[in-house]
Structure 1
Amino acid sequence: MDLLLSSIDIIARWDVIAAIVVGSIGGVLVGSLPGVGAAVAIAIMLPATFMLEPIVGLTALLGVYGSSMFGGAIPAILVNTPGTPVNALTTYDGFPMTQRGEARRALALAYSASFFGGIFSIICLMLFAPILAKVAPMFGAREIFLAALLGIVLVVLNHRGQVLAAAMLACFGIFLQTIGLEGTGYTQRYTFGQGWLQNGIDLIVVVLGIFAISQALVLFLDKDKNFPMPTVGKKGFFKVMGELWVFRRLALVGSSFGVFCGMIPGVGEFMSQFMSYSYAQRTSKTPELFGKGNPEGLVASEAANNSVPPAAMVPLLALGIPGEELTAMMLAVFYVHNVIPGPQLFANEMDFILALYLCLIILNVLVVLFLFFATDTLMKVMLIPNRFLGMMILTFSLIGVYSLRNSLSDVFVASGFGVFGMILKRLDYPTSPVILGIVLGGLMEDKLRTAMARVQTPLDFIDRPIAFILFCMIVFALLLHGWTMWKARRGDTIDELHSDSRSEG
């Protein structure tokens, strides 16, 4: 009880409450704008959060992270265009329900399932917090190194069909963090005699370039949206939200998948949605209606994706390992304020951890109340011209980059990464491996240096239980991916042989 009261005392301040309100409402607005997304908003907000206390800055970023999926469901259901990438599965059943004249019911179910998933995840993690606080100190330098390596491996392997590209981009990110003065011997690495490279490539500069500036350039080139807007209305909205009770089993299972996948670096929303949607379809009495407006599919996907953000904070806070690009950006806020996530934070500052989760509970309540009154207005926000959005994003991004160190070099570097990010998006290549490579690469280098001082042989590196388990997980993930590729290639070869035999016959 003392721990809970201490956590409440941390957030019972006007600036924290203001950050919750701004972050939650801002996240909904950003999520409802197709083509923008939470990553762009967080990238733009990062420089401003450096001037705030850690709890205030992180609360604002968590607000955007946790509420953007609520807003992303609006265009996904109404106009078949997901506001954020993780709302893509929502279009499968949400938009057909709108076409049947059930837009209000679809939105109400999406909001209630998202709310349930978020609250369920937060409660689970608050109950498990004492256990996690005991486990976290068991992670030494070698365990954190292997956990970070496992995170990169899972992120790369999660990009099915683009594993090689994702691996190359992750290695490029690891290379970027080596540029500048090396921290132990203070030797210059890859500076090529250029003074402006001695301080290295700042993470925030790369984030703003790859996510925000690149998205601005993409919006400049895209055509403006012209959506036919259905009528939603407020009458009976909360009553329809109560219909979630009918689908409580799917909401509970989907939220559980979200919690499980969120705690594993590199897995996240897409895997949890796929598992939840597949489970719902397999156990449904009407599986043939999935993809044609079945509310079961809508509940399964929305409950799964909104339960991931709270769970994704576990590896970030307990080990300092982000699972995807959004939590990697939040990690920068910790570093700026010299608050280092890891076993000591989870063991010694549990009131701070619980305060963050209490903020997530408050923002979920605020978002649902806001959406009840503002859904009709948010539908009009979707019609903002792309070029206007692009100009606003570009302006705020360049101001944010310059404000970091008052350096024009950073502006040019961010612009270069903006062009690079736009090329990646146009080629449909992932951008998150670059950011995770920068963040986890630095962490892996530091922990490897520390661990090698006590390691005599390669086997000594995995002679402790947790280190051995993490090593086995890495090997298993690689072998499983290799077996999957071999099986797929063997199936393609058999299909080719069958087609050749039929053509000869």
Structure 2
Amino acid sequence: MDLILSSLEILARWDVILALVVGSVGGVLIGAIPGVGPAVAIAILLPATFSMDPIVGLTVLLGIYGSSMYGGAIPAVLINTPGTAVNALTTYDGFPMTARGEPRRALSLAYSSSFFGGIVSVVCLILFAPVLAKVAPMFGSREIFLAALLGIILVIVAHRGQSLIAGALAGFGIFIQTIGLEPVKYSKRFTFDQSFLSSGIDLIVVVLGLFALSQAFVLLTSEDEKIRTTRLRGGLFQGFRELARHPRVASVSAGFGVIMGMIPGVGEFTAQFLSYTYAQKTSKRPQDFGHGSSEGLIAAETANNAVPAAAMVPLLALGIPGEALTAMMLSVFYVHNVVPGPGLFQNSMDFIVALYIALLILNVLVVIFLLVATRPLIQVVKIPNRFLGLCVLTLSFVGVYSLRNSATDCIMAAVFGMIGYVLKRLSLPIVPIILGMVLGGIMEVKLRAGMARVKEPFDFIDRPVAMILFLAIIAVLVIHARHVWLDRKSLKEAEWQTKHRSTRFGALLFRRKGSLSRARGRKVKARHSTSYRRSTGRD
């Protein structure tokens, strides 16, 4: 009880309350504008949070992170355009509801599902907090190094089909982190006698370039679209009643979101896919999925909103971000000399609980705001792309320059902005670069500290947690290698089938291998009965 009271005392300040309101409302607005997204907003606001208290800055960023998915459901449902990337699955069933004249029902169901997922996630974290406080001290330098390595590997293998380029981009991020003075002997690395590189490349400069400036370039080079929105009639409270009729789908989807959120590199997309697949396979009406199914909408929105709070677990317990947004938040901790990890749970448990309570309040504020202000919010989706791009471009350069009043930082941010623009145009991932920078620095420091007591290679994994993490790394690599082998095998079979499908012998061979359907096989036999009997020796 004393812990909760001390946590409430941290939150009972006017600046924290203002941060809660600004974060929740601002996140909804950002999410409702297609093409911007929380990563861009957090990147722009990041320099401003450095001058705030840790709880204030983190509350603003958490508010944008968590509430943007609420707002992203608005354009996904009404105009079939996801406001944020993770709302893409919402369009599958949300927009078909709008097309058949039920936009109010779809939005209400999306809000209530998001609220349920967010609340369940935060409650789970509050219940897990005592366990985390006991487990966190078991992680020493070697364990944190292995956990960071596992995080990078998970991020790479999560980009299935692009794992090679994701690994190369993560390596590029690790290389960027090494530029400047190394952390032990302070010798220069990769500076090429350039004084501006001696202090290294700032993470915020890279973040603003890769996310904010690149998105500004995308918006500026895209054409404005005329958007027609659907008029809403009636209230928006019916979704809570409909959600109560599907408790199994909602609870399982929230569970997927919590579990996937705690695993670095996995995130909302995997949680949504698993929950949506589960809901479809266990539904009494699976044919409705993709055509306006309420269960499909519940699964998608519940899962993606259960992830943000769960993603704070590896960040707070080990100091290891699972994706780009939590990597940005990690920099706020470091600026204020608040080091996430085992010591944070031992020495600042009230601060941790205050963050959890803030997340609970944020979810409540967002739902209240949406139920009251959805109708005027619909107009936000009509903002022209080029105007948005110009605003993002201006704010990004202001944010970069405010870091150190350096024009050099602006030039470097522009360079990374062009790199990010090229990667987006090629549909290549950006997140591995940021996580490579963040986790690469952690791995270097922890590896040097851990190797001081290592005499033989096996000594590095001679403790239980280290051994478990090492085995997890091996298992992930083996499973990924197996998936790659199976994908290549199926690709070769598909290419061979495409090459030989038109031949008579090939059609017969496909049937014998089970590649063709029975109906196709009967048609082939009927058309070529004589040749079929001769080839099989049945004449």
Deviates more, 1:243-252 or 1:195-204: 243-252
Question: Is 1:294–2:293 an aligned residue pair?
Answer: yes
Cα distance in 2 between the residues matched to 1:210 and 1:223: 21
Question: CA–CA distance in 1 between the matches of 2:113 and 2:422?
Answer: 36
Which whole-Å CA distance do the structure 2 matches of 1:80 and 1:504 have between them? 43
2:313 is the counterpart of 1:314: yes
* Distance apart, 1:494 and its partner CA: 2.9
Aligned position for 1:366: 365
How many angstroms apart in 2 are the aligned matches of 1:334 and 1:225?
40
Answering whether residue 414 of structure 2 is matched by residue 415 of structure 1, we say: yes
Name the CA distance, whole Å, in 2 between partners of 1:457 and 1:175. 28
Task: Tell me which amino acid in the other structure corresponds to 2:306.
Answer: S
Q: Distance in 2 between matches of 1:202 and 1:502?
A: 56
Deviations 1:57-93 (A, max 9, x none): 0000000000000000000111010000000000000
- The range that moved more, 118-127 or 373-382, is 373-382
The C-alpha deviation readout for 1:175-227, integer Å capped at 9, x for no partner, is 00100011211110000000000000000000000100111111000111322
* Displacement of 1:374: 1.3
Partners of 2:228 and 2:380 in 1: how far apart? 13
User: What pairs with 1:42-61 in structure 2 (closer than 5 Å)?
Assistant: 42-61=42-61
CA change 1:495–1:426 in 2 (3 A) is closer
Q: Structure 1: how far apart are the matches of 2:353 and 2:101?
A: 42
> Where does residue 100 of structure 2 map in the other structure?
100
How is 1:218-233 mapped onto 2 (pairs within 5 angstroms)?
A: 218-233=218-233
- Give the whole-Å Cα distance in 2 for the aligned partners of 1:123 and 1:131: 14
Task: Give, in angstroms, the shift of residue 347 of structure 1.
Answer: 2.2
Aligned equivalents of 1:36, 1:356: Cα separation in 2? 26
Q: Structure 1 residues 280, 398: CA separation in 2 closer, same or farther (over 3 Å shift)?
A: same
- 1:44 and 1:109 map into 2 onto residues whose CA distance is 31
Aligned twin of 1:438: 437
1:104 match: secondary structure: helix
User: How far did residue 38 of structure 1 move?
Assistant: 0.2
Mapped to 1, the partners of 2:2 and 2:328 lie a distance apart of 31
Which residue identity is paired with 1:4?
A: I
Map 1:303-452; keep pairs closer than 5 Å: 303-452=302-451
Q: Are 1:64 and 2:79 matched, yes or no?
A: no
**Structure 1 consecutive aligned stretches of length 4 or more whose deviation exceeds 6 Å:** none
CA separation in 1, counterparts of 2:195 and 2:422?
Answer: 28
Partner of 2:236: 237
Distance 1:287 1:427 in 2: 35
Whole-angstrom distance in 1 between the partners of 2:303 and 2:152: 23
Percent of paired sites with the same residue: 65
* 1:62 partner letter: L
Q: Does 1:495 align with 2:494?
A: yes
CA distance in 1, matches of 2:337, 2:496: 61
SS in structure 1 opposite 2:453? coil
The Cα of 1:152 is off from its aligned counterpart by 0.4
Which position in structure 2 is the counterpart of 1:23? 23
Equivalent residue, structure 2, for 1:133 = 133
- State the distance in 1 between where 2:323 and 2:496 align: 41
Amino acid at match of 1:103: P
Residues paired across the two proteins, number: 504
Is residue 109–residue 242 contact of structure 2 (8 Å, CA) maintained in 1? Answer: yes
Task: Note the residue ranges of structure 1 that are not aligned, 5 or more in a row.
Answer: none
**Secondary structure, counterpart of 1:307 in structure 2:** helix
Q: Alpha-carbon deviation of 1:500? A: 4.5
Alpha-carbon distance in structure 1 between the residues aligned to 2:216 and 2:497: 48
Q: In structure 1, what is the Cα distance between the partners aligned to 2:94 and 2:457?
A: 53
- Superimposed CA distance per residue, residues 128-160 of structure 1 (whole angstroms, 9 cap, x where no aligned partner): 110110000000000000000000000011011
**How large is the Cα RMSD of the aligned pairs?**
0.9
The residue correspondences of 1:215-294 to structure 2 (distance < 5 A) are: 215-233=215-233, 235-294=234-293
Q: Distance in 1 between matches of 2:279 and 2:124?
A: 22
Aligned to 1:453, the other structure's residue is in SS state helix
Normalised by the length of structure 2, the TM-score is 0.92
**CA shift in 2, pair 1:414/1:502, >3 Å:** closer
Query: Are the structure 2 counterparts of residues 495 and 389 from structure 1 closer, same or farther at C-alpha, using a change threshold of 3 Å?
Result: closer
Deviation of residue 302 (structure 1)? 0.3
Q: Deviations over 1:436-458 (max 9, x none)?
A: 00000000000000000011111
Give the 3-state SS of the residue equivalent to 1:86 in structure 2.
helix
Matching of residues 135-154 of structure 1 within 5 Å: 135-154=135-154
Partner AA of 1:455 in structure 2: V
1:349 Cα deviation after fit = 1.1
- Structure 2 residue runs without a partner (length 5+): 505-539
Offset from partner CA, 1:271-308 (integer Å, 9 cap, x none): 10001000000000011111011010000010000000
8 Å contact 2:109–2:238 — kept in the other structure? no
What amino acid does structure 2 have at the position aligned with 1:153? Answer: I
- Structure 1 counterpart of 2:191: 191
Map of 2:37 onto structure 1: 37
Q: Which amino acid aligns with 2:402?
A: S
Looking at structure 1, the residues matched to 258 and 367 of structure 2 have their Cα atoms a distance apart, in angstroms, of 21
Deviation at 1:459, TM superposition (A): 1.0
Whether 2:502 is the aligned partner of 1:468: answer no
C-alpha distance in structure 1 between counterparts of 2:277 and 2:349, whole Å? 36
The amino acid that maps onto 2:385 is N
Q: By how many angstroms is 1:487 displaced?
A: 1.1
Structure 2 equivalent of residue 85 of structure 1:
85
State the alpha-carbon separation in 1 of the partners of residues 159 and 456 from structure 2: 34
Instruction: Say if 1:131 and 1:188 are closer, same or farther in 2 by CA, change over 3 A.
Output: same
Judge conservation of contact 2:110–2:239 (CA < 8 Å) in 1: no
177-186 vs 59-68, which moves further: 177-186
2:317/2:344 contact within 8 Å kept: yes
Using the TM superposition, name which of 398-407 and 487-496 deviates more: 487-496
The one-letter amino acid paired with 1:86 is V
Larger radius of gyration: 2
CA drift of 1:396 comes to 0.9
* Alignment-mate amino acid for residue 72 of structure 1: G
Question: Residue 499 of structure 1: CA displacement?
Answer: 4.4
Deviation at 1:493, TM superposition (A): 2.5
C-alpha distance in 1 between matches for 2:195 and 2:27:
39
CA drift of 1:228 comes to 1.5
Equivalent-residue separation in structure 2 for 1:503 and 1:229 (angstroms): 48
What amino acid maps onto 1:110 in structure 2?
A
Counterpart of 1:257, as a letter, is F
Aligned-pair CA distance for 1:491: 2.0
- 2:171 corresponding residue in structure 1: 171
- Aligned partners of 1:11 and 1:73: how far apart in 2? 29
Query: What does residue 518 of structure 2 align with?
Result: none
The alpha carbon displacement at 1:501 in A equals 4.7
> Counterpart of 1:35 in 2: which secondary structure?
coil
Evaluate the alpha carbon distance shift between residue 496 and residue 391 of structure 1 in structure 2; reply closer, same or farther with a 3 A threshold: closer
1:211 aligns with 2:207: no
